[in-house]
Structure 1
Amino acid sequence: MTTSDRRVPRRKLSDTAADQLSARIEAGEYPVGSKLPAEKDLAQLFGVGRSSMREAVRTLEAAGYLESTHGVGVFVRNDKPQNVGPLDLTLGGGYTMSDLFEVRIALEGMAAELAATRLTDHHRELLVTFLTAAGDPEVTHDEFVRLDGKFHRQVAEASGNPLLLVMWETLGIQFEEYSLKVIQMPGRLDRAHADHVGIADALTQGDPALAGDRAREHVRTVQSELRRAADDAARPRATD
């Protein structure tokens, strides 16, 4: 299997279920204040597994459609949610996502450039393993974040520079915290996976310039998405 085999990631079943459920909510099939059917019934209704349905519900909770009450059930909170508020851009240790982005652009760009000239069969096999698991339509957000970290760490290790790897590992806590926050953004998982595939392809081609460019663009893309989200949250909305 080559990384190019997974260039176009399949859409997650949970995302499809979330779209279908939100459409039913907006159409009034599940009115505001009503309790949703049990998870197993929803999973059967939308033709997905219970883990995918659970992930879909979490997505709609983050979007402002639903609200869970422990031991009681999941209720429709809003049928036309507005922005649920700006994303918290702070990270542990007193750092911000902007701090992390600046370091990642420099660090990951150089790691990818070096890895493209030093990639071994062992590194390549591990990257493909991580990409295959991350491309599973049933992968959960938490699992994807774990695989995301493994992918980037493996690129740093493939650079052949042990100090660069140590530098990457010092970002571990902030990277995971950041990833768990942004992975809930609509489409972010699919775009991140596609970027990872592109980086891995450049490494396999042995093209340092392309690998470095794709690694840096991967970080800049989500940085731009967060800026747009912040702008949208700050923009006054028209009232009915």
Structure 2
Amino acid sequence: MRVQERQVPRTRLSDSVASDLKARIVSGDYPVGTKLPSEKALAESLGVGRSSMREAVRALAAAGYLRSTHGVGVFVISDRPNGIGPLDLTLAGGFTISDLCEARIAIESQTAELAARRLTDHHSELIQTILAAAADPQLPREDFVALDARFHREIAEASGNPLLLHMWDSIAAQFEEYSMKVIGMPGRQERAHADHAGIAAAIEAREPARASGLAREHVVTVQQELVRLRTAGGTT
């Protein structure tokens, strides 16, 4: 299949390369099931370095568009249309996974702080119910991740700020996608639950600074584990 090549200025970063490649997938230039050209050929066709091309492929694999199989190649596995849905935040506007984690830190540290100041009995009960349900060590990963998302969303609701809640909802799908990748790491489920218990305790104790700090630390830890997972090839 002949694909008309478009040159991408070398001054652009890998996120722009990923956006360009995603556009080709969405438009049908590279249909689902297609094996992409080699990394070298793709990089040359876009006028960028192989390192930028490699990062772009990793980002699209993380977003669910591509799958890389060592020794075989990279295949298109989804052609979801470009839009403004939560999943597209990974690349829309040039955002990266690091941008997403930084956004989580900003949102969740603030929602935890405000929740500690504004906690109601109703929200307190809901948070504790979620924690209790997630404490089961035999809980399937999918169920734990769903409860994980509910926990953070409930804190956003408890903050009393509807815009912060809206911001959390806008990244919820990405949160669950990457949580599913991280949760399989040894001990991750137990560490996540312990982190949640600490955050909840600080909120219950009406300690805004401690709640905010623990929420930030929790996301930073997840970010570090995501980096290790990506380095090991877990997102491909």
Which TM-score band applies after superposition, normalised by the shorter structure? 0.5 to 0.7
Q: Using the TM superposition, name which of 147-156 and 87-96 deviates more.
A: 87-96
For structure 1, the residue ranges without an aligned partner over 5 or more in a row are 1-85, 235-240
Give the letter aligned to residue 196 of structure 1.
Answer: H
Q: Matches of 2:100 and 2:172 in 1, distance apart?
A: 11
- Map 1:171-210; keep pairs closer than 5 Å: 171-210=171-210
Inter-CA distance 229–123: structure 2 relative to 1 (3 Å threshold)? same
Superposition deviation, residue 186 in structure 1: 1.3
The reply to whether residue 152 of structure 1 matches residue 116 of structure 2 is no
Q: Matches of 2:204 and 2:60 in 1, distance apart?
A: 36
Superposition deviation, residue 122 in structure 1: 0.7
Q: Matches of 2:61 and 2:172 in 1, distance apart?
A: 17
Alignment RMSD: 2.0
Which structure would you say has the larger RCO, counting Cα contacts within 8 Å and 6 or more residues apart?
1
Aligned 8 A contact 2:182 2:225 in 1? no
Structure 2 SS opposite 1:157: helix
Superposition deviation, residue 227 in structure 1: 2.9
Please list the CA deviations of residues 113-169 of structure 1 after superposition, one character each: whole Å capped at 9, or x if unmatched: 000000011111111100001001221100001100100000000001111111111
Identical-residue share of aligned pairs (%): 57
Aligned 8 A contact 1:142 1:180 in 2? yes
Superposition deviation, residue 223 in structure 1: 1.3
Counterpart in 1 of 2:16? none
For structure 2, the residue ranges without an aligned partner over 5 or more in a row are 1-57, 64-86, 91-95
Q: Matches of 1:184 and 1:97 in 2, distance apart?
A: 19
**Count of matched residue positions in the alignment of Structure 1 and Structure 2:** 148
Inter-CA distance 87–139: structure 2 relative to 1 (3 Å threshold)? farther
Q: Matches of 2:163 and 2:201 in 1, distance apart?
A: 25
Aligned 8 A contact 1:89 1:97 in 2? no
Give the letter aligned to residue 104 of structure 2.
Answer: R
Q: Matches of 2:169 and 2:89 in 1, distance apart?
A: 18
Superposition deviation, residue 87 in structure 1: 10
Counterpart in 2 of 1:226? 226
Q: Matches of 2:196 and 2:105 in 1, distance apart?
A: 14
- Please identify runs of 4+ aligned residues in structure 1 that moved more than 6 A: 86-89
Counterpart in 1 of 2:143? 143
Superposition deviation, residue 90 in structure 1: 2.6
Counterpart in 2 of 1:93? 88
Q: Matches of 1:89 and 1:223 in 2, distance apart?
A: 17
Counterpart in 2 of 1:42? none
